[in-house]
Structure 1
Amino acid sequence: MDEGFNLLWQQYQNSCFLLTQALTPPCSFAIITAYNPLGQTLPASHNRLLDKQLQQDIIQSGCAYRAMVGASVDLQHHEKSWAIYLDQHDAYQLAHKYQQYAFYFVTEGILHLVPCHCEQPAVEMGLFADYVRIVEVLPEPRDE
């Protein structure tokens, strides 16, 4: 992979998650977005359309889910995401369908970055709770 991708991979590892209330551990769940497939920055309107398609797939799966936002720690970049209570294999399939380089998977309270459309090793990032920020309202998508 090129230098640009390596920077993106590092940014994935320096993210935070905005939630309006804490998720109840110790359930395993995936965090998946449909925004910006294969790292291509898309207009907010296109990202919203992809997000609605992802939400429909989640609903059809019958899995429990919650809206959240994945963000850079400085909050300058954020992407609508979903905490989805499904196993890692099914999460991989869903993230792959939406052409994501990776997704997050939380098991026993530990956050993992799991590669999807790339050749990186999975990364154990630490306690999910350390990456969570509780907010009153989730930010709206915007053009980057």
Structure 2
Amino acid sequence: MSERGTGSRADGPVLGTPDSFRERPGRGGRVGRSLFFAVVAVIVVAAMGGWGYVMMSAKGNPEVLTEVIAFEVEGPGSLTVTFQAHKPADREAECRLRATDTEHVEVGTRSVTLPRGQSDVRLTERVQTSARATSGDVQYCYLVQ
């Protein structure tokens, strides 16, 4: 018995020579691969643009800008909120005031209508609460159609 690796077959390369292999096909596969990556890039760019538009439009109605000037806790059952709103003068707006407690739990709300005819409106409104409030804010304002 002969051992492995000995004899006449061990004189040449174990895996063969370059002449032992067939001719490699042309580089046509690179064009297909590049086209695939270009299509994927276009899809990703379109998706990112769509997502950006959704995020921009989800911001809400920026035509009514509000700012809380002050809030005052009047006891365990009410809170007053003084706020200023800027809106188009020819449109009416609806705002929601909110009172929260120390745990940021909503304890009272009130809807307020901002009339037509004024663009800058400053109001002081009372919000009835179910428990002692520690903060008051304008949750949102939107233009009425």
Q: Above 0.5 in TM-score?
A: no
Q: What TM bracket, shorter-length normalisation?
A: under 0.3
TM-score of the aligned structures, taking structure 2 as reference length: 0.20
TM-score of the aligned structures, taking structure 1 as reference length: 0.20
Greater strand share, structure number? 2
Structure showing greater radius of gyration is 2
Bigger RCO (CA 8 Å, 6+ sep)? 1
